[in-house]
Amino acid sequence: MSTLSDDVKAFIVKELACFETPSAVAIAVKEQFGLQIDRRQVHNYDPEATKPPAQRWREMHAATRKRFLEEIAEIPIANRSFRLKQLDRMARQAVGKGNLKLAAELLEQAAKECGDAYSNKVRLSGADGGPIRHAVSLEEAERELDEIFGRA
């Protein structure tokens, strides 16, 4: 087993806290850091392991897990961060396999996800993106209409 830096160990702990499997984490370590490690070595940083890791890694795992659970609520796929993580993974795989068309489609989907294209939020604005003007009195409304229609 190779000796891991604290950065790699922290990455492993955080990925495990986000419910990634040891095998998936080992692959992610290879992609992220260029290190080939075994899933059993990853498992050593799981607080549920037979021999738990050091206290600081257990605390980091607990804090990350708590934050992750609060973030995704109850249904992971209903959460934007989970969907973006999955889209990121799929896009990387598509590029790795040379499927640039699929990768481009996944990137477009992620951009739409970030830009609220899949939400029912409505943004209202006036001319040139400014505030919507509204009249507060009949006289003011008549003056505004006169200006718009060029009445004297």
Per the rule left: phi > 0, alpha: psi between -120 and 50, beta: everything else, 37 is beta
- Residue carrying the six token digits 């970030």: 114
Instruction: Say what the pTM is.
Output: 0.49
Q: What is the pLDDT along the chain (152 residues), one digit of tens a residue?
A: 668 999 999 999 999 999 999 999 999 999 999 999 999 999 999 998 888 899 999 999 999 999 888 876 667 787 788 889 999 999 999 999 999 999 999 999 998 888 866 556 666 666 677 777 666 677 877 887 788 887 75
Determine, yes or no, domain membership for 151.
no
Same structural domain, 22 and 65:
yes
- What stretches of 2-64 adopt beta strand conformation (E)? none
Helical pair 6-17 and 55-72, crossing angle rounded to 10 deg: 40
Range(s) of the domain holding residue 93? 75-118
- Does some domain include residue 24? yes
Tokens of 15: 């990925």
CA atoms within 13 A on the CB side of 65: 15
